Each structure stands twice: as C-alpha cells, then as structure tokens.
Amino acid sequence: MKKRTANSIMENGFLVDLTFHNVPASLFNEFTEKIVKPYFKGNVNSAIQDLIQKALAEQEFVHSRITHLRNCVDI
C-alpha cells in the first residue's frame, strides 16, 4: 500500500474529525448564539470551516503584504 502524505490527503478532500479541549462552554455558547445560529442556520461544522478558511485567507494576505513591504525596502 502506498503511503500518503498530508498534502495528498488534503488535496483529495479527506475529512478529519476535530476535537477541542479546554474551550470554555461560555465561549462556545457565545460563538453559537452570535455566529452559528444567525449566519449558518445552526450548522456548527460549516461555521468552523468558514472560520478556518477566513483565518487562512487573512494570514495569506498579511504574509503577502509583509513580503511586499520587505521587497520595497530592499529596493
């Protein structure tokens, strides 16, 4: 059987079960009330996926700006 790398698994859309530890119930309840119910019709899974995707997009934007500014300073 061929070994699969983490990248090949992610590219093929495999699903991962995710468990959170030591997250206060109050924080989860607030997230559910303010985000999940009104914007995701109560679907916590979709809300978490969207949150992760937006965090990654923001990180990429910040990284590209830092790279751009470094390149401008080097010129």
40 near 28, Cβ under 8 Å? no
Confidence of residue 67 (pLDDT cuts 50, 70, 90): confident
Average pLDDT value for residue range 18-31 = 94
**AA identity, residue 63:** H
pLDDT (0 to 100) of residue 36: 97
Note the pLDDT tens digit of each residue in 41-66.
Answer: 999 999 999 999 999 999 999 999 89
User: How many CB atoms neighbour CB 43 within 10 A?
Assistant: 13
70 confidence band (pLDDT: 50, 70, 90)? confident
Q: How confident is the model at residue 9 (pLDDT cuts 50, 70, 90)?
A: low
Residue among 15, 14, 32 nearest 23 (CA): 32
pLDDT of residue 2: 55
Contact of 40 with 50, CB cutoff 8 Å: yes
Hey, how many other C-beta atoms are within 10 angstroms of the C-beta on 32? 14
